Amino acid sequence: MTTKGKRKDRVLVFDTTLRDGEQSPGASLDHREKVEIAHQLAQLGVDIIEAGFPIASPGDFRAVHEIAEAVTGPTIAGLARCVEADIARCAEAVMPARKPRIHVFLATSAIHRKFKLRKARAEIIKQAMKSVKQAKSFVNDVEFSPEDASRTEPDFLAQVVEAAIDAGATTINIPDTVGYTMPSEFSHLISYLYESVPNINDAVISVHCHNDLGLGVANSLASLQAGARQVECTINGLGERAGNAALEEVVMTLRTRNDVYGPLWTNIKPERLVPVSRLVSRLTGMSVQRNKAIVGANAFAHSSGVHQDGVIKERSTYEIIDPATVGCQDGSDLVLSKLSGKNGLKQALNKMGISLNAEELAKVYERFVDLADKKKLIYDDDLLLIASEQLSDAVNIYTLECMQVTAGSSTIPTATVKLCKGDEVLQEAACGDGPVDAACKAIDRITNVSGRLTDYTLQAVTVGKDAMGEVSLRVAFDEETISAKAASTDIVEASAKAYLSCVNRLLSDREANGANETATKETP
């Protein structure tokens, strides 16, 4: 049988939303949110979840470890540099998984060898083999990535790939790390490796394409035509700089254009794409552009009279994908009213892939009833916003009891804020350049913490004049910068809640660090 004949038609989907996706500037996920997304990725049908970079921080280690314990179905992978400490820490994090994987990487391109690693070719091969063998001593499933592979000399890349497979790597990932390659070049590179690496059929060939030139999906698809059988991607195309190949675009292209890609298929459940996309967008605070393919708000919208007439007569005239196929159901947004009970709320949340315990559901229901008194209609996005507040595992040292703001063109903006700290109620007032500034200054006075807004974004996330407004902001506290988001029908209230969330996270981190220092001093 020829090499080509041995290649399988199944395309493995390797999701790195929780690792590379979280590295998007402005993205923010805490431990509980990562675990919730991992459960949804498992329901979506991804084959591998790269849960994080365990050596990066205690929080990353904790998230990877809990995902490995709690999430069943997909392989759970952790990332590690080709460094002994990284690999050992990664092994500890993924070990509880039923199907653990260690993903090690080492740069191979001339520019990285010269300026970053300062190592010769022989040293790179030796280090790669040593690291793969170390990872193999912990788990059977080891992935090796020659970082910046697309800019590595092809002959040297082939040598590294062959050595890594000899050392025990079961998957070889070929990254276009800086999104530099053209589809024809990338396809040629994958074909070259199949022709030049004697043991290449002993491993799955994967690709990881960045989107710096907008070619992440195109390069991924070109590689599949050349024989790659694993695609590394993220929900909504999140990732470093301009992001990664978008999972939903790769999957739906294979499904929609099987006349081009033949028998290639994935295990993804397409009807889960839009719900998971919305969940990731809400929890990361990274909005999906309206004209984003497959999952954008305008993906199935038609404003032209000609287009509308055509769709009314026959949908396929202007739609190549049935919206229901990817989970975009017309009329499904409007689900509840203020007369709905907890059971109806729970069913609606479950439909969106959100599971809450009884205590969390009670808190969400309380927020829901309060919101229903303010809004005539409740939409899926409203529910997703208030439920996402319960997915955070952040400790709230202070909670917002109430606030009152005075503002106007001829009035000095003033805010009176009342916070609760345990059973203690604290109140302060402050003036500012605007109502948001005044509210933040009042919070500063109560908490004795002073922050500086470095980024502020407001967007309406539901429809109507009474739409929920979501505020995403970044606050600098001396040398530490913290991101948070909050939503309300009152944008000043949403701003105050988001700012207070940053203050709470800062104070929680300081308490945790203080406890760790005390424990360290007391340890003999």
- Over residues 104-137, the pLDDT tens digits come to 999 999 999 999 999 999 999 999 999 999 999 9
Q: Give residue 512's pLDDT band: very low, low, confident or very high (50, 70, 90).
A: low
Q: What average pLDDT does the segment 140-151 reach? A: 98
- Beta strand pairing call for 204-209 and 171-176: parallel
Q: Over the stretch 196-234, which tens digit does the pLDDT of each residue have? A: 999 999 999 999 999 999 999 999 999 999 999 999 999
Residue 484: the pLDDT is: 80
Q: Which of 309-313, 354-358, 509-513 has the highest mean pLDDT?
A: 354-358
> Does residue 333 have a pLDDT over 50?
no
Residue 15: the pLDDT is: 98
Q: Give residue 463's pLDDT band: very low, low, confident or very high (50, 70, 90).
A: low
Q: What average pLDDT does the segment 52-70 reach? A: 94
> Does residue 1 have a pLDDT over 90?
no
CATH of domain 399-513: 3.30.160.270
Residue 3: the pLDDT is: 40
Residue 471: the pLDDT is: 87
Residue 72: the pLDDT is: 95
Q: What average pLDDT does the segment 232-242 reach? A: 95
> Does residue 462 have a pLDDT over 70?
no
> Does residue 331 have a pLDDT over 60?
no
- Beta strand pairing call for 75-81 and 48-52: parallel
Greater pLDDT, 355 or 185: 185
Q: What average pLDDT does the segment 322-350 reach? A: 68
Which of 342-351's residues contact partners 24+ apart within 8 Å by CB, and which partners?
345/383, 348/380, 348/383, 349/383, 349/387
> Does residue 180 have a pLDDT over 70?
yes
CA distance 105 to 121: 15
Q: In which element (H, E) is residue 406 found?
A: strand 399-408
Q: What average pLDDT does the segment 150-155 reach? A: 97
CA distance 205 to 145: 10
User: At 11, which amino acid appears?
Assistant: V
Greater pLDDT, 363 or 45: 45
Side-chain-side CA neighbours of residue 235 (13 Å): 32
Q: Which CATH number fits domain 3-284: 3.20.20.70, 3.40.50.20, 3.10.450.50, 3.40.50.300?
A: 3.20.20.70
Q: What average pLDDT does the segment 185-206 reach? A: 97
Task: Write down the pTM of the prediction.
Answer: 0.76
For the chain, what percent of residues have pLDDT higher than 70? 87
Residue 496: the pLDDT is: 94
Question: For residue 304, what are its two tokens?
Answer: 């032209």
Q: What average pLDDT does the segment 420-449 reach? A: 94
Residue 483: the pLDDT is: 80
Question: For residue 484, what are its two tokens?
Answer: 């948070």
CA distance 500 to 475: 10
Residue 7: the pLDDT is: 47
DSSP-assigned letters across all residues of 298-345: TTT---SHHHHHHHHH-GGGT-SS-GGGGT--TT-SEEE-TT--HHHH
Residue 353: the pLDDT is: 74
Residue 446: the pLDDT is: 96
Least confident of 43-52, 150-159, 218-227, 446-455: 446-455
Q: Over the stretch 162-177, which tens digit does the pLDDT of each residue have? A: 999 999 999 999 999 9
For the chain, what percent of residues have pLDDT higher than 90? 60
Mean pLDDT (the chain) is: 87
Greater pLDDT, 379 or 214: 214
**Rounded to the nearest 5°, which phi and psi values hold at 335?**
-125, -30
Q: In which element (H, E) is residue 165 found?
A: helix 154-167
Least confident of 97-111, 255-269, 472-486: 472-486
- Location of structure tokens 């599971």: 355
DSSP-assigned letters across all residues of 7-56: --SBPEEEE-TTTTGGGSTT----HHHHHHHHHHHHHHT-SEEEEE-GGG
Task: Determine the longest span between alpha carbons in the chain, in angstroms.
Answer: 83
Residue 11: the pLDDT is: 97
Residue 6: the pLDDT is: 37
Greater pLDDT, 218 or 300: 218
Residue 303: the pLDDT is: 46
Q: Over the stretch 382-425, which tens digit does the pLDDT of each residue have? A: 787 778 767 766 667 898 999 999 998 888 999 999 999 988 99
Greater pLDDT, 37 or 474: 37
Residue 518: the pLDDT is: 43
Residue 377: the pLDDT is: 63
> Does residue 245 have a pLDDT over 70?
yes
